[in-house]
Structure 1
Amino acid sequence: METGFLELTKLLPRWVDLENVVQDDVEARYILKRAADHLANIQSSRDSGEEETGYLVGALVDRSWERIHTGHFSQVPLATRKIYAIACCFKIFFLLLESTTPAQKDACSEILDEAQLLGCLEDWSELKVALMDYLDKGGAAAPSSETLPTLEPLTRVSSACDIPQLDAPSLEEFQTKCFKAGQPALLLNTIQHWPALHKWLDLNYLLQVAGNRTVPIEIGSNYASDEWSQQLVKIRDFLSRQFGKDTSKTDQNIEYLAQHELFSQISALKEDISIPDYCTISDGDAPGAVDIKAWLGPAGTVSPMHYDPKHNLLCQVFGSKRIILAAPEDTANLYPHESEFLANTARIDAAQLDPDTYPLVAKVKFYQLLLQPGDCLYLPPKWWHYVRSEAPSFSVSFWWE
């Protein structure tokens, strides 16, 4: 048994750390205790119950996966997602006990990605990072031989802006003029210290630190269209298709890594950004958690007119985005979809208004701006926004209450 694998087992949670997670789930209690005890003593014994324990862990993963996919994801109990995530980790260890071939490590890497996408690994972040590093270094998937371009920094252009522009506002100024006033604003010179502004222009850097991760990709012009779909793909394949040499193909689908918690999945990228201090201003007594989302795609990606329930700070790393806004007071005039899934999305095309089909849009006051590298757009809750990438683009959004 190799030394690297044995070192990894030391990061696994012991049963005493898991008791509060499984709570009243009798089946999960039995399986995870058995797995935790077995792996805690792996250096001293390899008993005959190993195969059966591994089988039970796999069954727990399958059962938890089914529970996660029953009903709406937002209603899945956190305990179920934690059980799924740690069961996936145990499953990986039992698979590695069988074999540590490159092909086996690649299979385990995909299980780890599933654990991060569907489960909750926040309590075991050190284990996650170490396991990811171990699997990536020994996998069969060869690094891409394709060299991706290094994007040229965009030259800042003068553009009309229908909302206030504030140059690196202080916390007090932001709180008064934006947060409390419910006023969208374009914030300038607030993220110039981010290493991401120059590092991420080299797409080979993204390929190196993130290429082997599996992420959900949106396929199609926008999520409200009939041809829209989603797929789980390796980031290296996504980058190659959307930014590589063959992007001139006429039948090339537009793909978008949208609204994804990439930075909890890949810690190296999180080190290239920082949460703006503006996100510490809260409606309550203390600031809440900040959700960090990634948006990466080629020119032409579109988020149709929609709103978010939280405060939103959209930060542009590279590329530019044309944005159209409308106030919450105009909600009825924007023709929201009637389905629950799209209730926060308008049926109108904000870029090409059709007053014959949607006559109430004539009453709407729209606000337009161009979001350029280094800019941040503050959006109060329920403000409608349409977003179109004018160039290959990477944005980071921070949502908080």
Structure 2
Amino acid sequence: MPVVEMNAVDPDRFHQDIVPAARPVVFPGLVAHWPAVAAARQGDEALFDYLARFDRQEPVGTLIVPPEAGGRFFYNNDLSGFNFQGGRARLAKSFEFLLANRDVERPATLAAQSISTRAHLPGFAAENVSPLLAPEVEPLLWLGNRVIVAAHQDPYENLACVVAGRRRFTLFPPEAVADLYIGPFEKTPGGPPISMVSFDEPDLERHPNFARALEVSEVVELEPGDALYIPYLWWHHVRSLEPVNLLTNYWWSSEPAGHGQAMDAFLHAVLALRALPAHQRAAWKSTFDHYVFGDPDTATAHLPGSVHGMLGELSQEDAQRIRKMLGQKLSG
């Protein structure tokens, strides 16, 4: 199904209505006024000249996958490693590579990923301002040719803005996880675990439930100037469709400061709960559903506020005390 489109959205509506709804939304032309988008419309050379104005000429993380991979950054055949090589290179080198390979039928694929604009292109954010987010949310740049990024999820809210080229996003809700056949957690191509399914040639004998995932998927193709809100922990597969593509994205989190990260709690739960007998896991599931995933007010409605303790509203000091206690238990 297509992703819902919305126009004329202001920051208040975005944060009060759209983000809490936790559904993907496309904002056509949201950043079409950006100087970076205007430069891209003039051509690849003009875009690179524009970016060079800000470039501190320091190496950034850069990946190369050979032509036979077809742009898909993935594992090698036995999952012992990956099908690409990684290193660091100056952006100017990436610009030269992309320009030289625009007309090559099957070029190697380059991806310069998660480029910090504050560290590497200071001044970019001041000229290309997000209409929906506060200035402290840093824009990151993603540059490459026809890159295919496997379906993955991020523990952040995400606003993705296309500057140059076109990108196709295929999105899945968090509950589709069982149908996406997720790979290893410890060894991943880019940080988060990824779907092992080839979206170009899905093997439905090996991955039969992927057909069910496709039934709940949402697909959108973005043009320069368009933006997409990807909710927290939504799975997304990304395909860049042109010889030169540039994306700016913004990640932000609602995790309370000092309370720890949800991913840390997940890892500890895997460690502590996964090996328990089935009946004990079921008992803990009931407890988690009531105290963690259920309505917080329901869990404490029968108690006076003075004794809500860790189930109540925590101060920074309370959070630090609980984290210290947890640290002591984990180190024991």
TM-score with structure 1 setting the length: 0.53
Moved over 6 A (4+): none
State how many pairs are aligned.
231
Q: Distance in 1 between matches of 2:74 and 2:131?
A: 31
Q: Residue 397 and residue 257 in structure 1: after superposition, are their counterparts in 2 closer, same or farther (change >3 A)?
A: same
Contact 2:172 2:234 in 1 (8 A): yes
Deviations 1:122-158 (A, max 9, x none): xxxxxxxxxxxxxxxxxxxxxxxxxxxxxxxxxxxxx
Deviations 1:204-225 (A, max 9, x none): 3334542833211111134423
Q: Distance in 2 between matches of 1:233 and 1:358?
A: 37
Q: Distance in 2 between matches of 1:312 and 1:193?
A: 20
Matched position secondary structure for 2:224:
coil
Structure 1 match to 2:204? 355
Q: Distance in 2 between matches of 1:188 and 1:247?
A: 27
1:206 pairs with 2:51 = yes
Letter in 1 for 2:247: S
Letter in 1 for 2:129: S
Matched position secondary structure for 1:180:
helix
1:242 pairs with 2:91 = no
Letter in 1 for 2:8: A
Q: Distance in 2 between matches of 1:193 and 1:208?
A: 19
| Structure 1 residues 262-341: aligned runs within 5 Å | 262-277=117-132, 279-280=133-134, 290-298=137-145, 300-341=146-187
| Structure 1 residues 193-232: aligned runs within 5 Å | 193-200=33-40, 201=43, 202=46, 203-207=48-52, 209-210=54-55, 212-220=57-65, 221-226=71-76, 227-232=83-88
Q: Residue 206 and residue 231 in structure 1: after superposition, are their counterparts in 2 closer, same or farther (change >3 A)?
A: same
| Structure 1 residues 2-401: aligned runs within 5 Å | 162-200=2-40, 201=43, 202=46, 203-207=48-52, 209-210=54-55, 212-220=57-65, 221-226=71-76, 227-244=83-100, 247-249=102-104, 252-277=107-132, 279-280=133-134, 290-298=137-145, 300-342=146-188, 344-364=193-213, 365-391=216-242, 392-401=244-253
Q: Residue 249 and residue 166 in structure 1: after superposition, are their counterparts in 2 closer, same or farther (change >3 A)?
A: closer
* Structure number with higher relative contact order (C-alpha < 8 Å, ≥ 6 residues apart): 2
Contact 2:11 2:131 in 1 (8 A): no
Q: Distance in 1 between matches of 2:99 and 2:224?
A: 18
Contact 2:118 2:138 in 1 (8 A): no
Matched position secondary structure for 2:6:
strand
Letter in 2 for 1:320: R
Displacement of 1:247 after TM fit? 4.3
Identity, % of aligned positions = 23
Q: Distance in 2 between matches of 1:376 and 1:340?
A: 32
Contact 1:305 1:349 in 2 (8 A): no
Letter in 2 for 1:398: Y
Displacement of 1:358 after TM fit? 0.4
Deviations 1:238-295 (A, max 9, x none): 1111113x54456742111112213432213333311332x35xxxxxx9x5242111
Matched position secondary structure for 2:209:
helix
Q: Unaligned 5+ residue runs, structure 1?
A: 1-160, 281-286
